Every structure is written in structure tokens, then in C-alpha cells.
Structure 1
Amino acid sequence: MNQQERVSPGTAAPAEGSSCSRLSPWVLLVSALAVKTALMTVGLVVLFHRSCGQYKTLPQNAPGWHCIPNGSASQKDSWKCCPEGWRPFQESCYYFSDDWMPWNESQQNCSGMGSHLVVINTKAEQAFINKEIQMKYQREQINLYIGLRAQKVGQWRWADQTPYNETAAFWRPREPSDDPNELCVVISYKKDVFRNWNDVPCRIHSYRICENAAETI
């Protein structure tokens, strides 16, 4: 036997795999961290694409969005969204202007934001608008254009072509005046007065209320 091959009595020969066994806990730890990182990355990518997919359908002319729970029993996880600066009510969003202009320019301004001058269909909607006017302007009296006008006396038509419904109209007493020079309609707001529509000349400058459908995501 070669002297280099001799082993002292009582001394065990070194195991060839001992260095690997000492490294195995580190290998497992590094592997676990890698798997965890990969799963987090996948989750973030899915969330990002999901969010992008939702908001691609929203109009692109608004700088930001304000969302509230939809409240529908069949859509508990959905949200109703309006552009920032717009007020939500039922299925619509409403914009109350800070400046004033004639009726035609008011309608064009609303159209430029993908909306139209407000169309009021119910008593609840009229009550909501009165409340919002009081909160925003905090004035005793103010005029705001709505989307109702006539091409001829008595032939009222809404800006979105909704037929005029006399039973859902909220004229002031003795209005409309049926004056051929007064073919556009404002809410002539006065505190605690619910019926406040008034026909006026379309050229006068007034504030305006725009309306658009809310986005559900």
C-alpha cells in the first residue's frame, strides 16, 4: 500500500459530498426567494394589464377620475366613475360651470367634453341639481342653462333629442311665457324654490350644466 493511501486507525475517510450538503440550505433559500420574486412580478403584471384594460374605455379628454361604489346588488364589485370636477347622480355625471356664455356656445362647450347640456327627466334629478347649485355657488339667485330649447314657440326639444315631457317639467309659475324671443331655458335658481325653469333669449350669458353617462368599471 502506498504511504499516501494509508489511513490512520480510527480516522474515517472524508465524504465526497459533504461540501454540497453544507451549501444546500443556501441553495434552498435562494431558490425560494427567486420563486417568490417571480410570483410577485407576475401578479403585478396581471394587475397592471387589468387596470389598463379597464381604463382604456374611459374618455381620454378628462385629466382624472372620481369613482364611487356602484351600489347595484348585481354588480357589488363594480365602480361608477365620473371625471374629476363632475358630480355623480344615478347613472350620470354633471358639470356645473364656472363661467357663462349664450346657449349655443354652452351646448358646444358641453359637446367638446363629450357631453350635452343637462336633460332633466325626473323629480329626483331636479332635486339633486337644485342641491348641487346651492352647494357650489352659495348664492341666493343664479341662472344656469339646461338642454331645453324650442325652434318655434311651444315646440320644446331636449339637446339629446329626448322628447319633451310636460309631466316632468319644472317651470316657474306663469312660465313658459311663449315669447318668440325666448326659446332657450335656464334654471333660474332661487333658494327653496323647487320649480324654477324659465324661458329666456338664447343670446344671454348664463352658467351651464353639462351631463354625460357615468362609466361603470
Structure 2
Amino acid sequence: MKKILVLTCMALGMMSCEKDPDLGQLDTNMVVYTDYDSKTDFGKFQTYFLPDSILEAGSHHATYWKDENAQKIIAAVEAEMNSRGYRRITDPAQKADADLGVQLSYIAQQVNVTTGWWGGWWDYGFWGPWWGGWYYPYTVNYSYDTNSLVMEMVDLSDGGKEGDEKAQLPVVWYAHSSGYQYYSGYNIQLMTEAVDQAFEQSPYIQSNN
């Protein structure tokens, strides 16, 4: 399992990189962390389904972010995936035919998550009625601050069999970007740059087709 963490170095008295930087002082970049299942062959995948909205998660409920700003972030992810040789499926009725599912979430309020995706947000039934849940092949145990963008990639290629309640979705790639939230609004440029950085840190995401 490879873990890559890009930290912004701040010249504050001493020239050094902090392991856990003060996110309130990151005014030029977001901290980008990526992780993936090293046993996954990303080259075998050809298609992916990316929803036209971003889940905006709070402490108690979630909404879906679909405006022009959300579309800019989604477009950045689509551009990266297409440049790696994958083809996007846009028809929701055909998402079950995709090899990969890509889901984006924006953390509107501080949230604590321990080993796995928070229940009740991205309902596993979204990817198909036969899926009984999902899992990470690696440990996820984070506290998300406001202005965090989370990207996850799930393997749909094996396909859960209808009626098989034990079928689970493996999360094969994960990216988490955090930074300062300006004037209680979105900084779309920083988030799209974080998308680019996350993929730059993930050269293994590449289709062989």
C-alpha cells in the first residue's frame, strides 16, 4: 500500500515542513492525500460512471451540489479520467455497465469517520440493487475539516449478482483534499487544482485500452 501526502511548507520563523500543517494558513494549496488498493489492476478498466452532482455532507444530513461550480470540479475529474484512457458513461440507466464508479463528496461541516464510508450518504443501492455494501482494502480513520473534497473510486467490474446480499463494493482509490475555507464559500480554483494534484500522485490510474 502506497500512501502519498503532499504538504505545503510555510516559512513561519523556521524554514521547515510541518507534518500536520495549520490548514488555516494554507492560502495557496490544499493538502492532498491519496491511497489505493495495490492489488487492483487499473489497466483492465475501460469505462466509468461519474454522477452529475457532488454529495455535500454535514454532520447530520447530506444534500447534493449541482450548480456551475460543482460542474467545474466534476469536469476536472472527467478530464483526468479521460486523459488516462477511460470513457465516461453519462446515462444513469447504464451505470451498472461501467467498470468503475467515481463519487465526489464535499465536507460542509466537520465530520468524524472511522474505517469506512459514513452510513446513509452514498447509499450502496446507488450503484446497483444487488450490492450489499462496500469496503476499503485499507484502513480509513479520519476527521474531516470543513472545505474537504473527497474522491472515491469503486470497482464495479465484477458485478454483484442479483439477490446476493453479501456482494460488496471494493473502494480501490481514495483521495482527500483539505484547505482553508474562504469567506464561508467555495474556492473552486483550489479544489480543481487539488483534483489535478490527486491524479498526478496516482500514475497507476491508467487504462491499457
TM over 0.5: no
TM-score (norm 2): 0.29
Question: Structure 1 or 2: larger helix share?
Answer: 1
Structure number with higher relative contact order (C-alpha < 8 Å, ≥ 6 residues apart): 2
Question: Structure 1 or 2: larger strand share?
Answer: 2
